[in-house]
Amino acid sequence: MNGSEKLGEIFDQNPYMVVIIVDKNNLIIYINKTYLRILNLPAEKVMGKSVLSITPATKTVKVLKTGKAITAYNWDINGYQMIACAVPLFKENEIVGCFAYSISLNIWDSKTLVDKLLAEINMLKEQVHKSHTAQYNFEDIVGNNQQLLHAKSLAEQVAHQIQTRVLIIGETGTGKELFAHSIHNASARSLYPFVRVNCAAIPENLLEAELFGYEDGAFTGAKKGGRLGKFELANNGTIFLDEIGEMPLSMQSKLLVVLQEREIERLGGNRSMKVDVRVISATHRNLQSMVEKGLFRKDLYYRLNVVQVEVPALRHRKEDIRLLVGYLLNKLNDRLKTAVTGISREALKMLEKHAWPGNVRELENVLERALSLAYMDKTYLLDQKHFTFLFDKITTTWSPDKKSLKVVTEEFEQRILTQVLEDTGSNKAQAAEFLGIDLSSLYRKLKKYGIPIN
Protein backbone atom coordinates (compact mmCIF):
# COMPACT_ATOMS: atom_id res chain seq x y z
CA MET A 1 0.00 0.00 0.00
CA ASN A 2 1.55 3.34 -1.07
CA GLY A 3 1.35 6.69 0.76
CA SER A 4 -1.67 7.97 -1.16
CA GLU A 5 -3.63 4.80 -0.46
CA LYS A 6 -2.83 5.05 3.23
CA LEU A 7 -4.00 8.68 3.32
CA GLY A 8 -7.14 7.73 1.45
CA GLU A 9 -7.92 5.04 3.97
CA ILE A 10 -7.45 7.50 6.85
CA PHE A 11 -9.23 10.59 5.50
CA ASP A 12 -11.75 9.46 2.87
CA GLN A 13 -14.00 7.84 5.48
CA ASN A 14 -14.64 11.15 7.29
CA PRO A 15 -17.45 13.16 5.65
CA TYR A 16 -16.79 16.21 7.85
CA MET A 17 -13.04 16.59 7.32
CA VAL A 18 -11.51 18.29 4.27
CA VAL A 19 -7.86 17.42 3.48
CA ILE A 20 -5.47 18.56 0.78
CA ILE A 21 -1.69 18.17 0.41
CA VAL A 22 0.46 20.18 -2.01
CA ASP A 23 4.14 19.87 -2.84
CA LYS A 24 6.68 22.70 -2.60
CA ASN A 25 5.51 23.98 -6.02
CA ASN A 26 1.90 24.18 -4.82
CA LEU A 27 0.83 21.22 -6.97
CA ILE A 28 -1.88 19.03 -5.49
CA ILE A 29 -0.55 15.57 -4.62
CA TYR A 30 -3.49 14.45 -2.46
CA ILE A 31 -7.11 15.53 -1.94
CA ASN A 32 -9.74 13.54 -0.07
CA LYS A 33 -13.21 12.59 -1.35
CA THR A 34 -15.02 15.05 0.94
CA TYR A 35 -13.12 17.98 -0.58
CA LEU A 36 -13.80 16.71 -4.12
CA ARG A 37 -17.51 16.49 -3.30
CA ILE A 38 -17.54 20.06 -1.97
CA LEU A 39 -15.63 21.30 -5.06
CA ASN A 40 -17.94 19.24 -7.28
CA LEU A 41 -14.89 18.09 -9.30
CA PRO A 42 -13.54 14.66 -10.25
CA ALA A 43 -10.09 13.66 -9.01
CA GLU A 44 -8.52 13.78 -12.51
CA LYS A 45 -9.42 17.49 -12.79
CA VAL A 46 -7.58 18.25 -9.55
CA MET A 47 -4.62 15.93 -9.00
CA GLY A 48 -1.32 17.41 -10.19
CA LYS A 49 -2.90 20.82 -10.74
CA SER A 50 -1.80 24.04 -9.05
CA VAL A 51 -3.91 24.60 -5.96
CA LEU A 52 -4.26 28.27 -7.02
CA SER A 53 -6.26 27.16 -10.07
CA ILE A 54 -8.70 25.28 -7.82
CA THR A 55 -8.92 27.59 -4.78
CA PRO A 56 -7.24 30.96 -5.52
CA ALA A 57 -7.61 32.13 -1.91
CA THR A 58 -5.60 29.22 -0.50
CA LYS A 59 -3.25 29.83 2.44
CA THR A 60 -0.78 27.18 1.27
CA VAL A 61 1.24 29.71 -0.77
CA LYS A 62 1.98 31.77 2.34
CA VAL A 63 2.80 28.69 4.40
CA LEU A 64 5.28 27.45 1.78
CA LYS A 65 6.87 30.88 1.62
CA THR A 66 7.19 31.53 5.38
CA GLY A 67 7.49 28.00 6.71
CA LYS A 68 4.99 28.92 9.45
CA ALA A 69 1.64 27.30 10.11
CA ILE A 70 -1.62 29.24 9.86
CA THR A 71 -4.26 27.87 12.22
CA ALA A 72 -7.95 28.29 12.99
CA TYR A 73 -8.95 30.56 10.14
CA ASN A 74 -12.35 30.75 8.47
CA TRP A 75 -12.58 28.94 5.14
CA ASP A 76 -15.73 29.34 3.04
CA ILE A 77 -16.18 27.56 -0.27
CA ASN A 78 -19.22 26.60 -2.36
CA GLY A 79 -21.65 27.37 0.45
CA TYR A 80 -19.70 25.43 3.07
CA GLN A 81 -18.27 27.07 6.16
CA MET A 82 -15.14 25.59 7.70
CA ILE A 83 -12.45 26.18 10.29
CA ALA A 84 -9.11 25.45 8.58
CA CYS A 85 -5.44 24.94 9.35
CA ALA A 86 -2.42 24.83 7.00
CA VAL A 87 0.92 23.51 8.25
CA PRO A 88 4.29 23.15 6.45
CA LEU A 89 5.83 19.74 5.78
CA PHE A 90 9.56 19.36 6.33
CA LYS A 91 12.14 16.81 5.25
CA GLU A 92 15.66 17.23 6.59
CA ASN A 93 14.86 20.84 7.58
CA GLU A 94 13.64 21.71 4.08
CA ILE A 95 10.03 22.57 3.20
CA VAL A 96 8.71 19.93 0.85
CA GLY A 97 5.00 20.75 0.93
CA CYS A 98 1.95 21.88 2.87
CA PHE A 99 -0.77 19.89 4.63
CA ALA A 100 -4.12 21.76 4.84
CA TYR A 101 -7.22 20.47 6.57
CA SER A 102 -10.48 21.76 7.95
CA ILE A 103 -13.58 20.65 9.80
CA SER A 104 -16.54 21.12 7.49
CA LEU A 105 -20.18 21.72 8.32
CA ASN A 106 -22.85 22.59 5.82
CA ILE A 107 -23.73 26.24 6.38
CA TRP A 108 -27.43 25.46 6.76
CA ASP A 109 -26.66 22.73 9.30
CA SER A 110 -24.52 25.28 11.12
CA LYS A 111 -27.37 27.77 11.15
CA THR A 112 -29.73 25.14 12.54
CA LEU A 113 -27.18 24.27 15.22
CA VAL A 114 -26.62 27.92 16.11
CA ASP A 115 -30.39 28.57 16.27
CA LYS A 116 -30.80 25.58 18.55
CA LEU A 117 -27.97 26.70 20.80
CA LEU A 118 -29.36 30.25 20.96
CA ALA A 119 -32.80 28.90 21.88
CA GLU A 120 -31.26 26.81 24.67
CA ILE A 121 -29.20 29.77 25.89
CA ASN A 122 -32.28 32.01 25.97
CA MET A 123 -34.21 29.34 27.84
CA LEU A 124 -31.42 29.04 30.41
CA LYS A 125 -31.22 32.83 30.72
CA GLU A 126 -34.95 32.93 31.38
CA GLN A 127 -34.64 30.22 34.03
CA VAL A 128 -31.72 32.00 35.70
CA HIS A 129 -33.60 35.31 35.57
CA LYS A 130 -36.69 33.72 37.09
CA SER A 131 -34.75 31.96 39.85
CA HIS A 132 -32.86 35.15 40.73
CA THR A 133 -35.72 37.64 40.56
CA ALA A 134 -37.59 39.05 43.58
CA GLN A 135 -41.21 37.89 43.46
CA TYR A 136 -42.92 40.21 45.98
CA ASN A 137 -43.59 43.91 46.48
CA PHE A 138 -44.68 46.00 49.45
CA GLU A 139 -48.31 45.60 48.26
CA ASP A 140 -47.99 41.92 49.20
CA ILE A 141 -47.37 42.81 52.86
CA VAL A 142 -50.93 42.94 54.17
CA GLY A 143 -52.10 44.45 57.48
CA ASN A 144 -52.94 47.61 59.41
CA ASN A 145 -51.21 46.77 62.67
CA GLN A 146 -49.11 49.74 63.80
CA GLN A 147 -45.97 47.70 64.42
CA LEU A 148 -46.27 46.13 60.97
CA LEU A 149 -46.86 49.52 59.32
CA HIS A 150 -43.80 50.92 61.08
CA ALA A 151 -41.65 48.02 59.81
CA LYS A 152 -43.06 48.47 56.31
CA SER A 153 -42.42 52.23 56.31
CA LEU A 154 -38.83 51.76 57.50
CA ALA A 155 -38.22 49.12 54.82
CA GLU A 156 -39.64 51.39 52.11
CA GLN A 157 -37.28 54.19 53.15
CA VAL A 158 -34.15 52.05 53.30
CA ALA A 159 -34.98 50.46 49.94
CA HIS A 160 -33.74 53.63 48.21
CA GLN A 161 -30.41 53.56 50.06
CA ILE A 162 -28.95 50.91 47.78
CA GLN A 163 -25.71 50.36 49.71
CA THR A 164 -27.27 50.17 53.18
CA ARG A 165 -27.34 46.71 54.75
CA VAL A 166 -30.57 45.57 56.35
CA LEU A 167 -31.18 42.99 59.08
CA ILE A 168 -34.73 41.64 59.21
CA ILE A 169 -35.70 39.95 62.47
CA GLY A 170 -38.83 38.07 63.43
CA GLU A 171 -40.20 34.65 64.23
CA THR A 172 -40.36 31.87 61.67
CA GLY A 173 -43.24 32.39 59.25
CA THR A 174 -43.79 36.10 59.86
CA GLY A 175 -42.87 37.14 56.31
CA LYS A 176 -39.24 38.24 56.58
CA GLU A 177 -38.56 37.06 53.03
CA LEU A 178 -41.42 39.20 51.70
CA PHE A 179 -39.70 42.24 53.19
CA ALA A 180 -36.38 41.30 51.55
CA HIS A 181 -38.00 40.84 48.12
CA SER A 182 -39.91 44.10 48.49
CA ILE A 183 -36.83 46.12 49.47
CA HIS A 184 -35.00 44.87 46.39
CA ASN A 185 -37.93 45.51 44.03
CA ALA A 186 -38.40 49.05 45.34
CA SER A 187 -34.72 49.91 44.88
CA ALA A 188 -32.58 51.03 41.95
CA ARG A 189 -31.15 47.49 41.94
CA SER A 190 -34.47 45.95 40.91
CA LEU A 191 -33.31 45.31 37.32
CA TYR A 192 -30.43 43.20 38.62
CA PRO A 193 -30.44 39.78 40.33
CA PHE A 194 -31.99 38.99 43.70
CA VAL A 195 -30.16 35.92 45.02
CA ARG A 196 -31.40 34.08 48.10
CA VAL A 197 -29.13 31.90 50.23
CA ASN A 198 -30.56 29.77 53.04
CA CYS A 199 -27.60 29.58 55.41
CA ALA A 200 -29.28 26.83 57.46
CA ALA A 201 -29.85 24.54 54.46
CA ILE A 202 -26.28 24.41 53.12
CA PRO A 203 -23.75 22.07 54.82
CA GLU A 204 -20.86 23.92 56.45
CA ASN A 205 -18.25 22.34 54.16
CA LEU A 206 -20.11 23.58 51.06
CA LEU A 207 -21.12 27.05 52.21
CA GLU A 208 -17.90 28.82 51.17
CA ALA A 209 -18.07 27.36 47.64
CA GLU A 210 -21.77 28.25 47.45
CA LEU A 211 -21.19 31.87 48.43
CA PHE A 212 -17.90 32.62 46.68
CA GLY A 213 -17.74 30.01 43.89
CA TYR A 214 -14.79 27.85 42.98
CA GLU A 215 -12.24 27.28 40.23
CA ASP A 216 -11.82 24.16 38.12
CA GLY A 217 -10.25 21.39 40.24
CA ALA A 218 -10.58 23.34 43.51
CA PHE A 219 -11.63 20.17 45.35
CA THR A 220 -12.63 16.57 44.70
CA GLY A 221 -15.96 16.53 42.88
CA ALA A 222 -15.70 20.16 41.76
CA LYS A 223 -17.62 20.88 38.57
CA LYS A 224 -15.40 21.06 35.48
CA GLY A 225 -14.77 24.67 34.56
CA GLY A 226 -15.56 25.90 38.06
CA ARG A 227 -18.72 27.62 39.23
CA LEU A 228 -19.94 31.11 39.99
CA GLY A 229 -20.74 31.88 43.62
CA LYS A 230 -23.88 33.59 44.90
CA PHE A 231 -22.07 36.90 45.38
CA GLU A 232 -20.96 36.91 41.74
CA LEU A 233 -24.49 36.02 40.59
CA ALA A 234 -25.87 38.89 42.67
CA ASN A 235 -23.42 41.49 41.34
CA ASN A 236 -25.13 44.91 41.01
CA GLY A 237 -28.17 43.41 42.72
CA THR A 238 -29.05 42.04 46.15
CA ILE A 239 -27.98 38.95 48.07
CA PHE A 240 -30.43 37.78 50.75
CA LEU A 241 -28.75 35.78 53.51
CA ASP A 242 -31.69 34.02 55.15
CA GLU A 243 -31.20 32.35 58.55
CA ILE A 244 -27.92 34.22 59.02
CA GLY A 245 -27.88 33.12 62.66
CA GLU A 246 -27.15 29.56 61.51
CA MET A 247 -23.92 30.52 59.75
CA PRO A 248 -20.87 28.80 61.31
CA LEU A 249 -18.28 31.01 63.01
CA SER A 250 -15.61 29.94 60.49
CA MET A 251 -17.73 31.34 57.65
CA GLN A 252 -18.68 34.46 59.56
CA SER A 253 -15.08 35.68 59.49
CA LYS A 254 -14.87 35.14 55.71
CA LEU A 255 -18.15 36.94 55.16
CA LEU A 256 -16.87 39.85 57.25
CA VAL A 257 -13.86 40.23 54.94
CA VAL A 258 -16.16 40.35 51.90
CA LEU A 259 -18.32 43.04 53.52
CA GLN A 260 -15.25 45.09 54.43
CA GLU A 261 -13.34 44.77 51.17
CA ARG A 262 -16.32 44.45 48.78
CA GLU A 263 -14.47 41.76 46.89
CA ILE A 264 -14.44 37.99 46.76
CA GLU A 265 -11.99 35.25 45.88
CA ARG A 266 -13.20 31.95 44.49
CA LEU A 267 -12.26 28.76 46.30
CA GLY A 268 -9.05 27.49 44.71
CA GLY A 269 -8.47 30.83 42.98
CA ASN A 270 -5.65 33.33 43.34
CA ARG A 271 -7.24 36.60 42.29
CA SER A 272 -9.83 38.87 43.87
CA MET A 273 -12.95 40.18 42.13
CA LYS A 274 -14.80 43.35 43.05
CA VAL A 275 -18.54 42.94 43.68
CA ASP A 276 -21.22 45.59 44.11
CA VAL A 277 -23.92 43.89 46.15
CA ARG A 278 -26.44 45.04 48.74
CA VAL A 279 -26.66 42.54 51.61
CA ILE A 280 -29.99 41.85 53.30
CA SER A 281 -29.96 39.27 56.07
CA ALA A 282 -32.71 37.73 58.18
CA THR A 283 -32.98 35.59 61.29
CA HIS A 284 -35.49 34.32 63.82
CA ARG A 285 -32.73 34.08 66.42
CA ASN A 286 -31.60 36.69 68.95
CA LEU A 287 -28.24 37.68 67.46
CA GLN A 288 -27.48 40.05 70.34
CA SER A 289 -27.72 37.16 72.77
CA MET A 290 -25.63 34.97 70.44
CA VAL A 291 -22.94 37.66 70.37
CA GLU A 292 -22.83 37.70 74.17
CA LYS A 293 -22.46 33.91 74.21
CA GLY A 294 -19.70 33.97 71.58
CA LEU A 295 -21.86 32.21 68.99
CA PHE A 296 -21.93 35.13 66.57
CA ARG A 297 -19.17 37.60 65.72
CA LYS A 298 -19.76 41.00 67.23
CA ASP A 299 -18.07 42.84 64.35
CA LEU A 300 -20.16 40.97 61.76
CA TYR A 301 -23.34 41.69 63.73
CA TYR A 302 -22.68 45.43 63.56
CA ARG A 303 -21.79 45.20 59.86
CA LEU A 304 -25.09 43.50 59.07
CA ASN A 305 -27.28 45.41 61.51
CA VAL A 306 -27.07 48.87 59.92
CA VAL A 307 -30.86 49.16 59.67
CA GLN A 308 -32.99 46.68 61.59
CA VAL A 309 -36.53 45.83 60.51
CA GLU A 310 -38.59 43.84 63.02
CA VAL A 311 -41.57 41.91 61.68
CA PRO A 312 -44.22 41.29 64.37
CA ALA A 313 -45.66 37.86 65.16
CA LEU A 314 -49.21 37.16 64.02
CA ARG A 315 -50.46 36.69 67.61
CA HIS A 316 -49.44 40.33 68.22
CA ARG A 317 -51.50 41.62 65.30
CA LYS A 318 -54.66 39.52 65.34
CA GLU A 319 -56.61 42.51 64.03
CA ASP A 320 -54.98 41.74 60.66
CA ILE A 321 -56.28 38.16 60.44
CA ARG A 322 -59.44 39.18 58.58
CA LEU A 323 -57.41 41.08 55.95
CA LEU A 324 -54.89 38.26 55.66
CA VAL A 325 -57.59 35.64 55.20
CA GLY A 326 -59.11 37.63 52.31
CA TYR A 327 -55.71 38.13 50.67
CA LEU A 328 -54.64 34.52 51.11
CA LEU A 329 -57.96 33.11 49.88
CA ASN A 330 -57.57 34.99 46.59
CA LYS A 331 -53.99 33.77 46.26
CA LEU A 332 -54.89 30.15 47.08
CA ASN A 333 -57.93 30.13 44.80
CA ASP A 334 -55.69 31.15 41.91
CA ARG A 335 -53.13 28.49 42.70
CA LEU A 336 -55.50 25.64 43.55
CA LYS A 337 -58.11 26.52 40.91
CA THR A 338 -60.82 26.62 43.57
CA ALA A 339 -63.65 29.12 43.95
CA VAL A 340 -64.23 29.68 47.68
CA THR A 341 -65.93 33.06 48.02
CA GLY A 342 -65.53 33.70 51.72
CA ILE A 343 -65.46 32.58 55.34
CA SER A 344 -68.19 32.51 57.96
CA ARG A 345 -68.10 34.82 60.99
CA GLU A 346 -67.87 31.85 63.36
CA ALA A 347 -64.93 30.35 61.45
CA LEU A 348 -63.15 33.71 61.43
CA LYS A 349 -63.57 33.96 65.24
CA MET A 350 -61.98 30.51 65.53
CA LEU A 351 -58.96 31.73 63.59
CA GLU A 352 -58.71 34.90 65.68
CA LYS A 353 -58.60 32.84 68.89
CA HIS A 354 -55.78 30.60 67.68
CA ALA A 355 -52.26 31.44 68.93
CA TRP A 356 -50.54 30.94 65.51
CA PRO A 357 -47.09 29.79 66.64
CA GLY A 358 -46.23 29.30 62.94
CA ASN A 359 -47.47 32.84 62.12
CA VAL A 360 -48.68 33.83 58.63
CA ARG A 361 -47.10 30.75 57.05
CA GLU A 362 -49.17 28.54 59.36
CA LEU A 363 -52.30 30.55 58.54
CA GLU A 364 -51.73 30.02 54.82
CA ASN A 365 -51.23 26.27 55.32
CA VAL A 366 -54.39 26.04 57.45
CA LEU A 367 -56.43 27.89 54.83
CA GLU A 368 -55.08 25.65 52.06
CA ARG A 369 -56.20 22.56 53.96
CA ALA A 370 -59.58 24.14 54.68
CA LEU A 371 -60.02 24.95 50.98
CA SER A 372 -59.40 21.31 50.12
CA LEU A 373 -62.03 20.23 52.64
CA ALA A 374 -64.51 22.80 51.30
CA TYR A 375 -63.86 21.57 47.76
CA MET A 376 -64.69 18.03 48.84
CA ASP A 377 -67.88 19.36 50.48
CA LYS A 378 -68.72 21.20 47.25
CA THR A 379 -69.27 24.43 49.18
CA TYR A 380 -68.07 27.96 48.44
CA LEU A 381 -67.95 29.15 52.06
CA LEU A 382 -65.43 28.15 54.69
CA ASP A 383 -67.15 27.22 57.95
CA GLN A 384 -66.14 26.04 61.41
CA LYS A 385 -66.18 22.38 60.38
CA HIS A 386 -63.39 23.07 57.87
CA PHE A 387 -61.07 24.14 60.71
CA THR A 388 -61.75 21.51 63.38
CA PHE A 389 -58.37 19.92 62.59
CA LEU A 390 -56.76 22.94 64.28
CA PHE A 391 -58.03 21.67 67.61
CA ASP A 392 -57.55 17.97 66.94
CA LYS A 393 -53.82 18.15 67.62
CA ILE A 394 -54.06 18.11 71.40
CA THR A 395 -56.89 16.02 72.81
CA THR A 396 -57.05 13.62 75.70
CA THR A 397 -59.50 11.32 77.41
CA TRP A 398 -59.57 10.38 81.06
CA SER A 399 -60.63 7.09 82.55
CA PRO A 400 -60.58 7.34 86.35
CA ASP A 401 -60.45 3.60 86.80
CA LYS A 402 -57.18 3.42 84.85
CA LYS A 403 -55.14 6.57 85.60
CA SER A 404 -54.90 9.14 88.34
CA LEU A 405 -55.50 12.84 87.67
CA LYS A 406 -51.78 13.50 88.18
CA VAL A 407 -50.79 10.98 85.51
CA VAL A 408 -53.37 12.26 83.02
CA THR A 409 -52.29 15.89 83.68
CA GLU A 410 -48.63 15.05 83.17
CA GLU A 411 -49.40 13.16 79.95
CA PHE A 412 -51.42 16.10 78.71
CA GLU A 413 -48.65 18.57 79.61
CA GLN A 414 -46.10 16.41 77.83
CA ARG A 415 -48.24 16.31 74.68
CA ILE A 416 -48.72 20.09 74.79
CA LEU A 417 -44.96 20.67 75.13
CA THR A 418 -44.20 18.33 72.24
CA GLN A 419 -46.86 19.93 70.03
CA VAL A 420 -45.75 23.50 70.76
CA LEU A 421 -42.12 22.64 70.04
CA GLU A 422 -43.22 21.10 66.75
CA ASP A 423 -45.28 24.17 65.85
CA THR A 424 -42.43 26.55 66.66
CA GLY A 425 -39.75 24.55 64.90
CA SER A 426 -38.06 23.78 68.25
CA ASN A 427 -37.60 27.49 68.93
CA LYS A 428 -37.39 27.39 72.75
CA ALA A 429 -37.79 31.12 73.34
CA GLN A 430 -40.87 31.25 71.13
CA ALA A 431 -42.32 28.11 72.74
CA ALA A 432 -41.80 29.52 76.24
CA GLU A 433 -43.51 32.78 75.26
CA PHE A 434 -46.41 30.90 73.70
CA LEU A 435 -46.85 28.75 76.85
CA GLY A 436 -46.55 31.78 79.17
CA ILE A 437 -43.55 30.42 81.10
CA ASP A 438 -39.93 31.48 81.34
CA LEU A 439 -37.21 29.71 79.40
CA SER A 440 -35.68 28.01 82.44
CA SER A 441 -39.08 26.51 83.36
CA LEU A 442 -39.44 25.18 79.84
CA TYR A 443 -36.05 23.47 80.01
CA ARG A 444 -36.93 21.92 83.39
CA LYS A 445 -40.15 20.49 81.96
CA LEU A 446 -38.39 19.14 78.88
CA LYS A 447 -35.87 17.41 81.14
CA LYS A 448 -38.62 16.08 83.38
CA TYR A 449 -40.46 14.42 80.53
CA GLY A 450 -37.36 13.33 78.64
CA ILE A 451 -38.24 15.45 75.61
CA PRO A 452 -35.11 16.00 73.45
CA ILE A 453 -33.92 19.60 73.71
CA ASN A 454 -32.68 19.67 70.10
Interval 163-186: pLDDT, tens: 999 999 999 999 999 999 999 999
The domain 405-448 having CATH identifier 1.10.10: the answer here is yes
Write down the mean pLDDT value for the chain: 85
Instruction: Give the span between the Cα atoms of 420 and 434, in whole angstroms.
Output: 8
- What is the C-alpha to C-alpha distance for residues 319 and 123, in angstroms, rounded to an integer? 45
Domain boundaries, the chain: 3-108, 132-310, 314-391, 405-448
Q: Using CA of residue 177, residue 183, residue 188, residue 191, what is the dihedral sign?
A: positive
Topology adopted by domain 132-310:
Rossmann fold (3.40.50)
Which residues are bridge partners to 238 per DSSP? 194, 278
Low-confidence residues in the chain, pLDDT < 70: 1-10, 13, 104-131, 391-403, 405, 423, 454
Helix (H) or strand (E) holding 106, with range, is strand 94-106
**Under a CB-based contact definition with an 8 Å cutoff, are residues 172 and 153 in contact?**
no
**pLDDT at position 433, please?**
74
CATH class, 314-391 region: mainly alpha
What is the C-alpha separation between 437 and 431, in angstroms, rounded? 9
* 3-108 under CATH 3.40.630.10, yes or no: no
pLDDT of residue 90: 85
